[in-house]
Structure 1
Amino acid sequence: MSIEEIKLPDVGGEEVEIIEISVSVGDKLEEDEAIIVVETEKASMDIPAPYNCTIESLNVKAGDKISEGMVIASVKKEGAEEATPEVKEEAAPVVEVEVTKVEEKSIIETNTSSAEITSVVEDVFVPDIGGEEAVDVIEILASIGDSILEEDGIITLETEKATMDVPAPFTGILKEILVQPGAKVKTGDLIARMQKDIVVETPKETVKKEEPKAEVIVEKTVAVATSSEPVKTTEKVYASPSVRKLAREFGVDLGKVSGTGNKNRILKEDVRLYIKAELTKVNSGASKNSGSGLGFDFPELKEIDYSKFGEVETVELSRIQKISGPSLHRNWVSMPHVTQFDEADITELESFRKEQNAVYVKTGADIKISPLVFAVKAVAKALELHPNFNSSLSSDGQSIIFKKYVNIAVAIDTPNGLVVPVIKDANKKGFEDIAKELKELSIKARDGKLKAADMQGGCFTISSLGGIGGTYFTPIINAPEVAILGLSKSEIKPVYNGSEFEPKLILPLSLSYDHRVIDGADGARFTTTLSKLLSNIRLLLL
């Protein structure tokens, strides 16, 4: 009998765990059919048969830790001559005696190696989308079997701030799509599987010459269950490494969890629902609350038949409203808001802005500076002077985290809803740089092309309604930030200069802040600083 060993190839790590045995002894495999599934730090992957063969024995089991070069199975290569096994006359259980011939020779060795290309299947997860809330899958951009380049979109998600594509993390072939339009996913959830090629360095057989000098017989005894005793099998559990990790953290037996993914694959949401169901059994007597998650026990609203009073029309909330509504409610009820109102004389600022834009038109420069550009620069300067506004309250409410960077978020109204992209390091950028970046972000926002990274890392938000109208309003803080500035429509007002009234262009300011972090006096100081900076733009250059 000609037996060959299959060893674990290079899988990019020192040691990996076997999470599934895909075959049984006696199975006939075709080339590239999976023998085992291993779990690395980054993905789970199949270890395939390198050629057509029959499984003679398995040297590993699920849960084993193995490393490169370890033998995982012994196989009989298709086409090899079969020898009649020697069987001793003995009662069950049957014992198979495998005789391996090892020859001692004079050897001339040539150590060479070759590079083989092996295909592996890796999981694709939802990247960091800027929050823990589940978001909707609104579109599938690729089909199974498609060849996808790195950064090509696989699916499109819709968050409370924008729609965004989830790109392929590498170039490869799409093997599975595990979500459908309408599904909800979170950061880290498994959405697809892709096949990619990796290069594996495989040592060639050592060249051996000379006649054999001696022969050593090595006997290997393997106990085999008799056919009279049924072999106990368990149903395979299909789950990604992240799902298995989650199950281990909560002590969940995945064999008891029903999978709702493709081919009954267990998803993170399935594990969470299982845990929730188990907790519900334990706490079945617990009282219900409003579902705010903040400890409030609000009375439920009564259903009212409005049609009794006249004609009505019911319109479903937009997807953005459904997502952003709970977030706005949470921010409003969890933070003690205080709003400080003030004004800024932007007469000189507006005169300078118009003059500068006229210069850009004459020179053909593709730049246009809006009042918002000056507001971004002024807020960045004010945050440096008042660092408590550039902070966040820790999750346990026991400390304040001060940020050493200045990133300004700007609310932009689009046909799809309100989005809040972020201008990074605004304090280090000039007016022209901020103007260009605002234009680019606005175009991406209107086209629905903002990425998650474009809307992350904000320290302070500006909401400008100046192009619409109004005087003052109370903007809701964008957690985990501690303050937000609202800008309204500027108007000409008479301002007394000590001897007479002069017409001045006045910009209304509305600053909402978290009273747990910021005192009223600090709020007044911040708006006073902001007013001075906007009234005298020379101060922004210092």
Structure 2
Amino acid sequence: MAERIIKLPDVGEGVAEAELVEWHVQVGDVVQEDMVLAAVMTGKATVEIPSPVEGEVTFRHGEVGDVIATGTVILKIKVAGQDAPDEHDEPESKPEPAVAVEPMQERMAPEPAAVETPPPPKPVEKPRAPAAPRAEGDRPLASPAVRLRAREAGIDLRQVTPTGPAGRITHEDLDAFLERGSGKTVGAGLQPNTSIQEVKVVGLRRRIAQKMALAKSRIPHITYVEEVDMTALEELRARLNAQPGGAQNKDRPKLTILPFLMRAMVKAIGEQPGINAHFDDEAGVIRQFGAVHIGVAAQTPAGLVVPVVRHAEARDIFDCAREVARLSDAAKNGTAQSEELSGSTITISSLGAMGGIVSTPVINHPEVAIVGVNKLAIRPHWDGTQFVPRKMMNLSSSFDHRVIDGWDAAVFVQRLKTLLETPALIFVEE
């Protein structure tokens, strides 16, 4: 029997540590070769650690949320079918010395077997009285197995009467609770729920929290909101999407509003390059970029990530749409590479139909601007003589007020409004 030691691997990018975000095994589990054992995160990329062997987990180091140095032993797996231990195995215990056999002639005749007397009967254990109820807000006492069973059954342990030592909840207490019908009686009415659930902030959620705190603590935001008439652009988008497939456009993706907005941003940035910049507040330097790398904030099961469409200035409408779709799928599937989730120079924040009327998007530090897309809806619009139904949408955009004045922010948004309301201008090369 041998033991295989698994260390936290070098996940690349020159990092010396990684955050443990998932455990897929526990001590005592039998694992198969290539089975995922754990997942760690560096930056915003998650790396899975597979098992190199088949065997039983005998040791596990670290809890979810811990930051572990590269090369640290995180698992040990007992491997069956190997006679000799490998270099990481523990030394086998030495055999005990053999016991000498006494000469036959010196052995004494066996004594008659003693008659065993039956043990005295065990005293009848009196049923334990229920413990006093715990104070409101106190965490109930229970073993991990009891907590797991209660969680799977949807039981709030604070509603279970404990009978174990020191007020500990036992499996029998859960059984009794379930037999009583979760303690609810007909006509009992609404019951207070004093439960408190602690959720550890780890992985991507912790990275998001850190970045949002950094952005809000360092950047004085100014948010500018403008209403945009999207009727003409929506008609153009519908026509382009309805075009029949052919040899030249059979691979064309379906167009959303985002590719048009991205191209409008490229044109507006050409007139105001200071919008497409990073502010290094520690060095006191503004870096204006010729390349327009647009981050598109995307919600995933793990949290908010920002895949980046690189060189939007060199992409047409359909190429932008194709890249947005590819990156969005990769982000939601967890397959996006680290370089695809960093390096943006300006960001779009869009919640689609959930976008609301107005929002106050947080700037993606160290950028100086973010464009927020709100919900598209048909609203009455005054055309000078009467109210007519138009497809309207608000843009809620935030700017770093240390480097972008209110006037410049307004000029930028008004230019976007003009381009989106007259979409033919987006395609005019100047």
Are residue 457 (structure 1) and residue 340 (structure 2) matched? Answer: no
Are residue 336 (structure 1) and residue 336 (structure 2) matched? Answer: no
Conservation of the 8 A alpha-carbon contact between 2:44 and 2:338 = no
The letter of the residue matching 1:331 is A
1:89-148 deviations in whole A, cap 9, x for unaligned?
xxxxxxxxxxxxxxxxxxxxxxxxxxxxxxxxxx9463068xx996446479xxxxxxx9
Conservation of the 8 A alpha-carbon contact between 1:137 and 1:180 = no
Conservation of the 8 A alpha-carbon contact between 1:475 and 1:484 = yes
> Where does residue 323 of structure 1 map in the other structure?
207
Deviation, structure 1 residue 424: 0.2
Are residue 480 (structure 1) and residue 362 (structure 2) matched? Answer: no
> Where does residue 392 of structure 1 map in the other structure?
278
User: Structure 1 pair 310/138, CA: closer, same or farther in 2 (3 Å)?
Assistant: closer
CA distance in structure 1 between the partners assigned to 2:304 and 2:401 by the alignment: 26
Conservation of the 8 A alpha-carbon contact between 1:138 and 1:158 = no
Choose from 353, 357, 361 the match for 2:241.
Answer: 357
> Where does residue 157 of structure 1 map in the other structure?
40
Conservation of the 8 A alpha-carbon contact between 1:492 and 1:506 = yes
Structure number with the higher helix fraction is 2
Choose from 401, 408, 420 the match for 1:522.
Answer: 408
Structure 2: segments with no counterpart, 5+ residues: 1-8, 25-33, 51-60, 74-87, 90-135, 140-157, 159-191
Choose from 395, 398, 421 the match for 1:509.
Answer: 395
Are residue 401 (structure 1) and residue 284 (structure 2) matched? Answer: no
When the two chains are superposed, the root-mean-square deviation of aligned CA atoms in Å is 3.8
Alignment of 1:434-449 (within 5 A): 434-449=320-335
Are residue 184 (structure 1) and residue 67 (structure 2) matched? Answer: yes
The letter of the residue matching 2:212 is L
CA distance in structure 1 between the partners assigned to 2:403 and 2:17 by the alignment: 25
CA distance in structure 2 between the partners assigned to 1:396 and 1:322 by the alignment: 23
> Where does residue 132 of structure 2 map in the other structure?
none
1:288-313 deviations in whole A, cap 9, x for unaligned?
xxxxxxxxxxxxxxxx9699985233
Deviation, structure 1 residue 426: 0.5
CA distance in structure 2 between the partners assigned to 1:421 and 1:464 by the alignment: 13
Conservation of the 8 A alpha-carbon contact between 2:233 and 2:422 = yes
Conservation of the 8 A alpha-carbon contact between 1:347 and 1:505 = yes
TM-score, reference length from structure 2: 0.59
Q: How many residues align?
A: 288
> Where does residue 313 of structure 1 map in the other structure?
196
The letter of the residue matching 1:329 is A
CA distance in structure 1 between the partners assigned to 2:200 and 2:377 by the alignment: 35
Conservation of the 8 A alpha-carbon contact between 1:306 and 1:312 = no
User: Structure 1 pair 357/394, CA: closer, same or farther in 2 (3 Å)?
Assistant: same
The letter of the residue matching 2:67 is K
Conservation of the 8 A alpha-carbon contact between 1:163 and 1:448 = yes
Conservation of the 8 A alpha-carbon contact between 2:208 and 2:304 = no
> Where does residue 427 of structure 1 map in the other structure?
313
The letter of the residue matching 2:362 is I
Larger RCO of the pair (alpha carbons < 8 Å, separation 6+): 2
CA distance in structure 2 between the partners assigned to 1:540 and 1:166 by the alignment: 47
Conservation of the 8 A alpha-carbon contact between 2:43 and 2:338 = no
CA distance in structure 1 between the partners assigned to 2:41 and 2:260 by the alignment: 31
1:17-46 deviations in whole A, cap 9, x for unaligned?
xxxxxxxxxxxxxxxxxxxxxxxxxxxxxx
1:496-515 deviations in whole A, cap 9, x for unaligned?
33333332211111111111
SS in 2 for 1:467: helix
SS in 1 for 2:353: coil
Runs of 4+, deviation exceeding 6 Å:
306-309
Alignment of 1:148-227 (within 5 A): 156-158=39-41, 161-164=44-47, 182=64, 183-184=66-67, 190-191=70-71
CA distance in structure 2 between the partners assigned to 1:416 and 1:360 by the alignment: 38
CA distance in structure 2 between the partners assigned to 1:361 and 1:180 by the alignment: 54
Structure number with the higher strand fraction is 1
SS in 1 for 2:354: coil
- Sequence identity (%): 32
CA distance in structure 2 between the partners assigned to 1:412 and 1:444 by the alignment: 11
> Where does residue 249 of structure 1 map in the other structure?
none
Deviation, structure 1 residue 365: 3.9
1:321-348 deviations in whole A, cap 9, x for unaligned?
2231122112111111111111211111
Deviation, structure 1 residue 494: 2.4
